[in-house]
Structure 1
Amino acid sequence: MTLTAHRPQTAPASPSSSALLTPTLVLQDVSKTYGDGDGTITALHPATLVVQPGELVAVNGPSGSGKSTFLSIAGALLRPTTGQVRIAGQDLTALSDAGLPAFRLKNLGFVLQSSNLIPYLNVREQLTLVPHLAGEDGRDARQQAEELLQLLGLSERARHFPDALSGGQRQRVAIARALMNDPQLILADEPTASLDSVRGREVVELLAQQVHAHGKAAVMVTHDERVLDLCDRVVSIVDGQLRE
């Protein structure tokens, strides 16, 4: 697996200030292998990546290159075979499997390829579900949802269900939902895959805006080269999935 960093296309948070901050995400020599009979399959070779607050990093590469494995490890969904993962200063190897869901709910926001909205919940309910699962106050959650809907231009769609929304609107709802728990880290998996070039760019522009404005960190897996210029860094994964 080869990781190749390209020159930033847009300016992240001020280097002088970000240098003083704790990195939001640190992947140190992480790898993933699976047993396969008498041998092993290497899904991801040892890789290191540090993402600072206020930084949007794209992970680019062809299908089957190891991007999904990389994102799953970064999102505390998959434990690496070797290496260390730290999110918001927390060493995830110190957390039990039972403790990981609560950690993800508090610290991570996910934006998936198909938006993954619940079909029988309207837009406002999609957002308030997240704090409800975390056991937070309903009144505060509703107020936060209204603020996010207004910020992302979705107020008029608050009572609409997913099947009444365009693809771009669904992805904007997914971004709003990912922001509801005020996460330290946002992980996006091919968020433009089902969108045309105009809507796809709008979605990534919105994600970058939120990252830069609020000091979030984000990792976006994508093969869409049309949006890479909106990212602060581009990291390529090549031949990350190998059979030994």
Structure 2
Amino acid sequence: MQGVSRVFGDGSDTQVTALHPTDFAVYPGELVAVVGPSGSGKSTLLTLAGALQRPTAGRIAIAGQDLAALSERQLADFRLQQIGFVLQSSNLIPYLKVREQLTLVPQLAGRGGAAARALADDLLGHLGLSDRAGHYPAQLSGGQKQRVAIARALMNDPGLILADEPTASLDGVRGREVVALLAREVQARGKAAVMVTHDERVLDLCTRVVRLEDGRVLEG
């Protein structure tokens, strides 16, 4: 991000600046934590980084692609190919088994089949979930669901992983396990990752910590 800002509202009396002009970068192998109080701009930063909304001003590039050059349809394709999302509730589909949760992602990109199933099994093995491949989400613990969500985020080999409060529904031990696993995979696979979190207990597992307050980056 270079000089990226986001302003909501039309008139000067109703405008709200969610993010002031900001420079922000994350590199392959890094897991960067973004922390700050509610309303500080963390969610806005994450949705901009995830190409889910466009900035009011400034430039965003991911894997060398300037997002401003893409149409809405191209942005949707770009998100599928280059960005993996891990959300606080895992957002698994209740009626799909674990392996199917993963293979659905490449199917959406037109790359299903045996190769996708093999990749899914490889990821599940790396994350200690091979024995859960045939289980439904209701049969998994909270920590296992988040590990499945991480595996799903890696399925299309994206350059960027975005995690929104991935430990919010977990106890301290399970939350730390999930972030440690995410950090390990990010480093081993050369991904860039950004994690918004309120969980101070996992910050030591991150490469850097960026603090936001009132839409401004204070450090990082």
Shorter-chain TM-score range: over 0.9
Query: For residues 155 and 224 of structure 1, what CA distance do their matches in structure 2 show?
Result: 28
Q: TM-score, normalised by structure 2?
A: 0.96
The AA in structure 2 aligned to 1:132 is: Q
- Asked whether 1:120 is paired with 2:95, we answer yes
Query: For residues 150 and 137 of structure 1, what CA distance do their matches in structure 2 show?
Result: 19
Selected match of 1:177 from 149, 152, 162: 152
Q: Secondary structure at the match of 1:235?
A: strand
Give the aligned partner of residue 8 of structure 2: 34
The AA in structure 1 aligned to 2:3 is: D
Deviation at 1:214, TM superposition (A): 1.1
Selected match of 2:77 from 87, 102, 124: 102
Give the aligned partner of residue 122 of structure 2: 147
Q: Which is richer in strand?
A: 1
Query: For residues 44 and 184 of structure 1, what CA distance do their matches in structure 2 show?
Result: 24
The AA in structure 1 aligned to 2:26 is: V
Instruction: Name stretches of at least 5 consecutive residues in structure 2 with no aligned partner.
Output: none
Query: For residues 196 and 31 of structure 1, what CA distance do their matches in structure 2 show?
Result: 35
Instruction: Name stretches of at least 5 consecutive residues in structure 1 with no aligned partner.
Output: 1-26
Please list, as runs of the form range in 1=range in 2, the aligned pairs for 1:152-167 lying within 5 A after superposition.
152-167=127-142
Q: Secondary structure at the match of 1:63?
A: coil
- Deviating above 4 A after TM superposition, structure 1's stretches of 4 or more consecutive aligned residues are none
How big is each residue's C-alpha offset from its partner over 1:88-125, in whole Å with a ceiling of 9 and x where there is no partner?
A: 00000011111101001111100001001011101000
Q: Let me know the Cα RMSD of the aligned residues.
A: 1.0
- Asked whether 1:58 is paired with 2:33, we answer yes
Query: For residues 22 and 69 of structure 2, what CA distance do their matches in structure 1 show?
Result: 20
Q: TM-score, normalised by structure 1?
A: 0.86
Deviation at 1:36, TM superposition (A): 5.3
Q: Secondary structure at the match of 2:72?
A: coil
Deviation at 1:83, TM superposition (A): 0.4
Give the aligned partner of residue 173 of structure 2: 198
Query: For residues 158 and 74 of structure 2, what CA distance do their matches in structure 1 show?
Result: 17
The AA in structure 1 aligned to 2:143 is: G
- Asked whether 1:131 is paired with 2:106, we answer yes
Give the aligned partner of residue 6 of structure 1: none
The AA in structure 1 aligned to 2:66 is: D
- Asked whether 1:93 is paired with 2:68, we answer yes
Work out whether residues 105 and 152 of structure 2, in 8 Å CA contact, stay in contact via their aligned partners in 1: yes
Query: For residues 61 and 14 of structure 2, what CA distance do their matches in structure 1 show?
Result: 30
Give the aligned partner of residue 215 of structure 1: 190
Query: For residues 6 and 208 of structure 2, what CA distance do their matches in structure 1 show?
Result: 24
Query: For residues 195 and 73 of structure 2, what CA distance do their matches in structure 1 show?
Result: 26
Deviation at 1:39, TM superposition (A): 3.0
The AA in structure 2 aligned to 1:60 is: V
- Asked whether 1:240 is paired with 2:215, we answer yes
How big is each residue's C-alpha offset from its partner over 1:22-79, in whole Å with a ceiling of 9 and x where there is no partner?
A: xxxxx11111001155431111111111111111100001111110000000011110
Query: For residues 95 and 179 of structure 1, what CA distance do their matches in structure 2 show?
Result: 23
Q: Secondary structure at the match of 1:68?
A: helix
Query: For residues 30 and 94 of structure 2, what CA distance do their matches in structure 1 show?
Result: 32
The AA in structure 2 aligned to 1:192 is: T
Query: For residues 146 and 164 of structure 2, what CA distance do their matches in structure 1 show?
Result: 11
Query: For residues 3 and 72 of structure 2, what CA distance do their matches in structure 1 show?
Result: 21
